[in-house]
Amino acid sequence: MKVISLAEAEKKAVAMEGARNVWKQVPLGGGDGSPLFSFRVFTIEPHGHTPYHVHPFEHLNYVIEGNGALVMESGQEKNIHKGDFVLVLPHEKHRYRNTSDSEPLVMICAVPKEFE
């Protein structure tokens, strides 16, 4: 068993092309012996966003704090707020972006551990 606060998890800048002002932590993952899934946390600073991309695995999200938008392939956006749960299915093109000028968007992004 493992109990860890977010502040204790190492925080790294995301260098992936298309990412802007994004930080990543992995409080629970393969390195802890998790058999299948990992809990990553992304902190997206104001004016930041994740890459606009697609992949063969799902995302299960929980928004810990902040306000943002989920950008879909159609260009449409769905607003996301603190307390929301989000499911992005495999092969659905998407981007998360922060819509606040002052507050970070912090969210859990659970994925199969092979993709953590």
Task: Name the residue with tokens 């993952």.
Answer: 29
Residue 9 CB partners (closer than 8 Å, separation 6+): 25, 26, 27, 41
d(CA 49, CA 22): 7
Q: Tell which one of 22, 70, 105, 109 touches a copy of itself (CB under 8 A).
A: 70
- Which region among 10-18, 46-54, 89-97 touches a copy of itself (by CB under 8 A)? 89-97
**CA distance to 15, 19, 74, 76, 90, per residue, from 24 (Å):** 10, 11, 27, 26, 21
- Total residues contacting a copy of itself by CB under 8 A comes to 40
- Which region among 12-20, 43-51, 73-81, 95-103 touches a copy of itself (by CB under 8 A)? 73-81
Could you list the residues that contact a copy of itself (CB under 8 A)? 1-6, 9, 27-28, 32-37, 39, 57-58, 60, 62, 64, 70, 72, 78-81, 83-90, 92, 94, 108, 110, 112
